[in-house]
Amino acid sequence: MPFIKVYIHFVWSTKNRIPYLKTPEIRKAMWQHIKENANKKDIFIDFVNGYNDHCHCLISLGSEQTISKIMQLIKGESAFWFNKQNFITEKLEWQDEYFAVSVSESVVDKVRNYIKNQEIHHTKKSFQEEYTELIEKFGFKKFKDTTN
């Protein structure tokens, strides 16, 4: 059995950043469901939280797991579940893009705390501002689609 501890901080948003996760109660139900469903699929979510238009997850990867497969399993199933609950009249969709950055074990508590405090964080800063900061902080390049 391999001994692996690789933490990844995932962030993804709702399609077009529509605030489908409108209330704290809806968000709590979504985060709880994501954690429970991930557990059934042997995905270890250390912490999950977010705001009305996005989600943060701190996940420890298993030896057979890939970033893209984890995102597919979590995002697809959670949207399906959410839409069956009739929390809102619209149909929740997640945006295709997402962030995934490695997290050193020495800063896991800091990242966990950041995720935990999303409600407070977003009283001061929009997700768009957070998104721009993440792009810049981690050196991601945002390319425009020139095929249209």
The answer for residues whose C-beta is within 8 angstroms of residue 4's C-beta and 6 or more apart is 61, 62, 63
Interval 17-51: pLDDT, tens: 999 999 999 999 999 999 999 999 999 999 999 99
Residue 137 neighbours by CB distance under 10 Å: 9
Stated pTM of the model: 0.86
Question: In this structure, which topology does domain 6-137 adopt according to CATH?
Answer: Alpha-Beta Plaits (3.30.70)
Interval 82-137: pLDDT, tens: 999 999 999 999 999 999 999 999 999 999 999 999 888 778 877 778 777 777 87
Q: How do the domains of the chain map onto residue ranges?
A: 6-137
**Does residue 146 sit in helix, strand or coil?**
coil
For tokens 């809806």, what's the residue?
26
Interval 52-61: pLDDT, tens: 999 999 999 9
